[in-house]
Amino acid sequence: MDDALDLVKRSQAGDQAAFKELVNLHNGQVFGQILRMVRDNEEAKEIAQQTWIKVWNKLGSFRFESAFSSWLYRVATFTALDAIRKRKSRKEVSLLSDDGDEIVVNEPSAVAPPDQIANMERQEIRERFMKALDSLPNHHKEALILRENEGLSYKEIARKMKCKTGTVMSRIFNARKAIQNQMKEFIT
């Protein structure tokens, strides 16, 4: 068994020393990912701490269906995105003019541009969807692709797959359900 997975299992059982080893093993990458998003060293440190608190609290939900590092970086990304959403996109700085009047100046925020953040979210969703789609049995995947990508009716799919319309409906339902289960953290 992989050492990191052993650390995860021990951490899930409440072993704080194992969790500390996980933090030591992955904190550099977590911090780097967050820093690229918020572009502020102190804020990245704070968000990294929040990430590790969330990881500790949610560790029981990790089911070993993906790499621990993927799950961890997803938690880090969403924690950073939450922090970015909570603060204003622009910072206000108050200055006093020579005659004592207060002047409020809007200063650009140090966060990653919104389109960069949105692209990161879309890429992660797309990657998770493709992984979920690839995990489906071929007959479920084929039925779903014929329906969603090619826009075929249930009857047309049944003819093409040489099965009953009810079977097609069942396969598509099961395919959608399986994908939803694998993507539930992205579904609000």
Domains of the chain: 1-111 (1.10.1740.10), 113-188 (1.10.10.10)
**What is the model's pLDDT at position 73?**
85
Query: Dihedrals φ, ψ of 63, to 5°?
Result: -110, 10
Residue 159 has pLDDT above 90, yes or no: yes
Report, as an integer, the average pLDDT of 167-188: 82
Residue 180, number of CB atoms within 10 A of its CB: 12
10 Å CB burial of residue 79 (0-12, 13-18, 19+) is buried
**What is the model's pLDDT at position 36?**
84
**What is the model's pLDDT at position 114?**
60
Q: Of residues 100 and 25, which shows the higher confidence score? A: 25
pLDDT in tens, 80-135: 888 887 764 445 444 555 555 555 444 444 455 566 666 666 777 777 778 888 88
- Asked whether 174 and 144 are in contact (CB, 8 A), the reply is no
Percent of the chain with pLDDT over 70: 78
Q: Please, what is the average pLDDT of the chain? A: 80
Residue 114 corresponds to which amino acid? P
Paired tokens of 40: 């502020």
Query: Dihedrals φ, ψ of 105, to 5°?
Result: -115, 130
Least confident of 25-39, 113-127, 174-188: 113-127
**What is the model's pLDDT at position 2?**
61
- Asked whether 143 and 161 are in contact (CB, 8 A), the reply is yes
Beta bridge pairs of residue 104:
94
Residue 188 has pLDDT above 60, yes or no: no
Q: Of residues 134 and 163, which shows the higher confidence score? A: 163
Report, as an integer, the average pLDDT of 40-57: 91
**What is the model's pLDDT at position 125?**
74
Q: What is the DSSP letter of 59?
A: G
